[in-house]
């Protein structure tokens, strides 16, 4: 139960409504337990001589009592269940607020499906606890006390006998409840495997079709489905027993009342109406008893779900503004300095970057080259604080990067990630994502700089074209250029291009670079590329090798150095046929 305690603050926010709910439950129970008393009395007087008037009075009172109870029952739902929806809203909001700010580390280690399952299933399980479970358990408890005391007042011995099967019931509820819970967890695990499988299959459908793996996919999906069926049937074996046995036990109570009660009536110790009342009361108890088992299950599930949610909610937001951040920094100029920076993705992995020392003056351009996996993207991720350095320091305008408010930092940097992610929305909305409101003028201007405009005019719906998930209906180069336009819209002080021309032809790239030259005046820029043609004009070029700076200098300096850079240069050299054809 300790995880569910963390819901306290949510409950407290609605304590008034919940307290009213409690009052309503008590009132409604007073009404509903009064009905059997009325029935009892009316049957008892039937055995003596009576008249229509008294009968009519009882019948009328039964309806009134029931109406009284009903009104409060309405109010219970309007208070407690409504609160459960309100708390669900709060909880989901808090969950989302937290998720949004979790570090990238979290997202690279947890699948989307997993996170979605928490946001939907787990929150729902907790909601079931807050609403129905709380309502029924309080209701059951109060009802149990009232009903049993009335029963005892009718016939002490009969009540005790008839309630004898109840301990068995409690044990059963507890034991079977646990069994059900375990098996249910297994089912959920299988179901999430099934979901993940489907998700992966549809995301990678192009690859699957290319490699004609459809039948293999169907086979493995079938196996998963079959295992899922088996796990379900395991649960059914227990669950199918649960409900009928509950009925059996409560039914036995009723038979005890009839049998023993019957003999008592024969002996004149009890009236027939008393037995009727006892049976009706037992009937009133049956449902709460069943609900009781159900509530226990819900609570167990909610506890497990809440544990998972708490785990996420307690994931530290590693990267955020803190005491060290200086609120007054609302603007950056763009002088960047790396001091002995080192970085690793996790404790157990080796350093990806080692002893990086680097100065990028305001308005200058730094180009980064290097092998696949040498740490280029990692380096720029550090500039955005998608990760924090594990050693050394990064300074911007002389301020430690951690002291710059995140908002200032990220709003000042225009970043084109290596892999372009676009939302399934219109081009306008995608490109103007960084703005507070879409602005077609700015969008057009940025699209023109990134040479995307000429493609858009060919689209039948222009900038209003809705693109597929992740931008699937655009060509590779179109995706990259939209992502570039999206970064330019910010009018950033620092521009970072991570291999942003890899899918763009040289001709277009050349035009973009010319446009950018104008744009980048007075802005600091970092360009990652494998192409000499892209990096050659940079003010400074570094070549990364296994996470360290192997070479640094301008194009000419590096060329003269005759090292890695010169080697790449030579390898990209076109053969000299051209001369033969120029006149």
Partner 1 sequence: MAADKKNDDEILGKAYDARLMRRLLKYVKPYLKYVILAIVLNIIAAALGPLRPYLTKIAIDEYIRDRNYTGLSYVSIGLFAALFLQTFIQYLLTYYTQYLGQRTILDLRMELFAHTQKLALKFFDKTPIGRMVTRVTNDIESLNELFSSGIIMVFSDVFIVLWIFCFMFYLDWRLSLVTLSVLPVLFYGTFLFRKKVRENYRDVRFHLARLNSFMQERVTGISIVQIFFKQKEELKQFSSINADHRKANIESIFYYAVFYPGVELLSSAAIALIIWYGGGEIIQKHLSLGVLFAFIQYTEMFFRPIRDLSEKYNILQTAMASSERVFKLLDEDTIIPSPEAPIRKSSLSGKIDFKNVSFGYGSSNTDFVLKNLSFNIQPGKTTAIVGATGAGKTSIISLLSRFYDIQNGQILVDDIDIKEISEKDLRNNIAIVLQDVFLFSGTIRSNITMDNPAITEEQMIKAARMVGADKFIEQLPNKYDEEVKERGATLSTGQKQLISFARALAYNPQILILDEATSSIDTETEILIQSAIEKLLEGRTAIVIAHRLSTIQNADKILVLHKGELKETGNHQELLAKRGIYYKLYQLQYKNQEISNS
Ligand X SMILES: Nc1ncnc2c1ncn2[C@@H]1O[C@H](COP(=O)(O)OP(=O)(O)OP(=O)(O)O)[C@@H](O)[C@H]1O
Give the three-class secondary structure for 367: strand
Instruction: Sort residue 397 into left (φ over 0), alpha (ψ -120 to 50) or beta.
Output: left
Q: Which does 220 bind (CB under 5 to 8 A by kind): ligand X, Mg ion, partner 1, none?
A: partner 1
Q: How far is CA 506 from CA 237, 306, 526, in A?
A: 66, 54, 19
Q: Which of residues 146-205 bind partner 1 (CB under 8 A)?
A: 191, 194-196, 198-205
Contact 539, 366 (CB under 8 A): yes
Taking the mean position of all CA atoms in its chain, how far away is CA 194?
18
Choose one: 294-302, 304-312, 426-434, 475-483; the region binding ligand X (CB under 6 A): 475-483
Q: Quick check: 461 binds ligand X (CB under 6 A)?
A: no
Residue 44 binds ligand X (CB under 6 A): no
Alpha carbons 161 and 341: distance in angstroms, whole number:
78
Query: Site map for partner 1, 440-459, x if CB under 8 A?
Result: ---------------x--x-
Please report whether residue 377 would count as binding Mg ion according to CB under 5 A.
yes
Residue 568 as a binder of partner 1 (CB under 8 A): the answer is yes
Is 481 an interacting residue with respect to partner 1 (CB under 8 A)? yes
Binding segment (CB under 6 A) for ligand X, from list 79-87, 365-373, 429-437, 484-492: 365-373
Minimum CB distance to ligand X smaller for 406 or for 503? 503
b/e code 519-549 from CB counts within 10 Å (16+ = b): bbeebbbbbbbbebebbbebebbbbbbebbb
User: How many residues bind ligand X, per CB under 6 A?
Assistant: 19
For ligand X, the binding residue among 474, 487, 495, 497 (CB under 6 A) is: 474
In terms of Cα–Cα distance, which of 293, 260, 302 is closest to 279? 260
Residue 213 CB, nearest distance to partner 1 (Å)?
A: 5
Question: Which of 496, 478, 494, 377 lies closest to 431 in space, CA to CA?
Answer: 478
Q: Which helix (H) or strand (E) holds 408?
A: helix 406-412
Taking the complex as a whole, how short is the minimal distance between the CB of residue 424 and ligand X, in angstroms? 13
Tokens of 385: 């604080």
CA distance 150 to 285: 12
Here's the x/- map for partner 1, 361-390, by CB under 8 A: it reads as --------xxxxx---x------x-x----
User: 62, 75, 119, 503: which one contacts ligand X (CB under 6 A)?
Assistant: 503
- Which residue's CB is nearer to ligand X, number 234 or number 530? 530
Contact segment (CB under 8 A) with partner 1 among 6-14, 80-88, 392-400, 518-526 equals 80-88
Q: Does the protein bind Mg ion through residue 529 (CB under 5 A)? A: no
Which of the ranges 92-100, 198-206, 257-265, 418-426 carries the binding residues for Mg ion, by CB under 5 A? 418-426
The DSSP symbol for 80 reads I
CB-CB contact of 76 with 25 (8 Å): yes
Residue 230: count other Cβ atoms within 10 Å of its Cβ.
Answer: 12
**∠ Cα 355 356 362 (to 5°):** 155
Tokens of 204: 């990678």
Q: Which two tokens stand for residue 456?
A: 């858009």
DSSP class per residue in 172-203: HHHHHHHHHHHHHHHHHHHHHHHHHHHHHHHH
| Closer residue to Mg ion in complex, CB, 31/370 | 370
Closer residue to ligand X, CB minimum distance, 243 or 506: 506
- Could you say whether residue 102 binds ligand X (CB under 6 A)? no
Task: Measure the CA–CA gap between 36 and 273, rounded to whole angstroms.
Answer: 9
DSSP-derived 3-state class of residue 369: strand
Burial of 564 (0-12, 13-18, 19+ CB in 10 A): middle
Residue 549 in the binding site for ligand X (CB under 6 A)? no
Site map (CB under 8 A) of partner 1, residues 502-541, x = contact: xxxxxxxxx-------------------xxxx--x-----
Of 15, 146, 144, 125, residue with least CA distance to 79: 15
Residue 93 touches which member of ligand X, partner 1, Mg ion, none, C-beta under 5-8 Å by kind? partner 1
Nearer to partner 1, 28 or 159 (CB): 28
The window from 166-174, 197-205, 469-477, 563-571 that contacts ligand X (CB under 6 A) reads: 469-477
- Of the candidates 3, 192, 418, 508, which one interacts with Mg ion according to CB under 5 A? 418
In angstroms, rounded to a whole number, what is the distance separating the alpha carbons of residues 380 and 442? 26
Site residues for partner 1, 458-477, by CB under 8 A, read 458, 460, 466, 468-470, 472-473, 475-477
Q: How far apart (Å, rounded) are the C-alpha atoms in residues 491 and 505?
A: 25
Looking at residues 239 to 298 of the shown chain, list those that interact with partner 1 (rule: CB under 8 A). 239-241, 243-245, 247-248, 251-252, 255, 258-259, 262-263, 265-266, 272, 276, 279-280, 283
Residue from 48, 372, 507, 582 in contact with ligand X (CB under 6 A)? 372
Identify which range of 149-157, 288-296, 353-361, 408-416 contacts partner 1 by CB under 8 A. 408-416
Q: How far is the CB of 171 from ligand X (least distance, A)?
A: 50
Q: Is 44 exposed, middle or buried (0-12, 13-18, 19+ CB in 10 A)?
A: middle
Structure tokens at 340: 């002995």
Q: Should residue 374 be labelled a site residue for ligand X when binding is judged by CB under 6 A?
A: yes
Determine which residue in the list 26, 104, 148, 561 makes contact with partner 1, applying CB under 8 A: 104
Nearer to Mg ion, 377 or 482 (CB): 377
CA–centroid distance for 445 within its chain: 37
For 260, the token pair is 């023993």
Per CB under 5 A, does 111 bind Mg ion? Answer: no
Interface ranges with ligand X (CB under 6 A): 108, 345, 352, 370, 372-378, 418, 473-478, 503
């Amino acid at each position: 139960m300790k995880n569910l305690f963390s819901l306290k603050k949510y409950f407290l926010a609605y304590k008034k409504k919940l307290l009213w709910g409690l009052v309503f439950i008590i009132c409604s129970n007073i009404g509903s337990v009064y009905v059997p008393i009325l029935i009892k009395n009316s049957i008892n007087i039937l055995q003596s001589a009576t008249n229509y008037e008294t009968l009519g009075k009882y019948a009328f009172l039964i309806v009134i009592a029931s109406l009284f109870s009903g009104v409060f029952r309405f109010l219970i739902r309007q208070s407690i269940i409504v609160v459960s929806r309100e708390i669900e809203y709060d909880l989901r909001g808090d969950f989302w607020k937290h998720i949004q700010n979790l570090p990238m580390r979290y997202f690279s280690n947890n699948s989307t499906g997993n996170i979605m399952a928490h946001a939907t299933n787990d929150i729902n399980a907790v909601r079931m606890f807050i609403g129905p479970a709380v309502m029924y358990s309080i209701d059951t408890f109060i009802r149990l006390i009232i009903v049993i005391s009335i029963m005892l007042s009718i016939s002490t011995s009969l009540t005790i006998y008839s309630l004898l099967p109840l301990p068995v019931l409690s044990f059963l509820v507890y034991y079977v409840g646990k069994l059900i819970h375990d098996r249910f967890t297994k089912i959920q695990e299988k179901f999430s495997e099934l979901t993940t499988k489907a998700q992966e299959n549809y995301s990678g459908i192009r690859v699957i079709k290319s490699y004609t793996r459809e039948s293999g996919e169907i086979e493995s999906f079938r196996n998963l489905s079959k295992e899922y069926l088996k796990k379900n049937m395991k649960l059914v074996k227990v669950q199918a027993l649960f409900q009928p046995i509950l009925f059996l036990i409560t039914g036995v109570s009723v038979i005890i009342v009839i049998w023993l009660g019957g003999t008592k009536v024969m002996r004149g110790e009890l009236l027939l109406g008393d037995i009727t009342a006892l049976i009706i009361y037992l009937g009133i108890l049956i449902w709460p008893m069943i609900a009781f088992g159900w509530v226990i299950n819900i609570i167990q599930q909610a506890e497990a779900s809440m544990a998972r949610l708490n785990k996420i909610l307690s994931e530290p937001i590693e990267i955020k503004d803190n005491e060290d951040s200086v609120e007054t920094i609302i603007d950056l100029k763009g002088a960047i300095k790396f001091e002995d920076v080192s970085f690793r993705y996790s404790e157990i992995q080796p350093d990806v970057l080692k002893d990086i020392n680097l100065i990028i003056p305001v308005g200058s351009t730094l180009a980064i080259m290097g092998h696949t996996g040498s740490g280029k993207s990692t380096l720029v991720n550090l500039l955005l604080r998608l990760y924090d350095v594990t050693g050394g320091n990064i300074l911007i305008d002389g301020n430690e990067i951690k002291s710059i408010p995140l908002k200032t930092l990220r709003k000042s940097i225009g970043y084109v990630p290596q892999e372009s992610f676009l939302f399934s929305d219109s081009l306008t909305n995608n490109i103007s994502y960084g703005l507070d409101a879409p602005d077609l003028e700015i969008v057009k201007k940025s699209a023109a700089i990134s040479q995307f405009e000429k493609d858009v005019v060919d689209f039948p719906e222009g900038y209003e074209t809705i693109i597929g998930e992740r931008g699937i209906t655009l060509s590779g180069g179109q995706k990259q250029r939209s992502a570039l336009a999206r970064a330019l819209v910010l009018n950033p002080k620092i521009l970072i291009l991570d291999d942003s021309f890899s899918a763009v032809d040289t001709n277009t790239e050349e035009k973009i670079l010319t446009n950018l030259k104008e744009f980048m005046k007075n802005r600091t820029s970092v360009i990652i590329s494998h192409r000499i043609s892209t990096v050659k004009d940079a003010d400074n070029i570094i070549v990364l090798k296994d996470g360290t700076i192997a070479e640094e200098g301008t194009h000419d300096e590096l060329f003269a150095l005759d090292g890695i850079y010169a080697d790449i240069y030579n390898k990209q050299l076109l053969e000299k046929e051209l001369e033969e054809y120029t006149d």
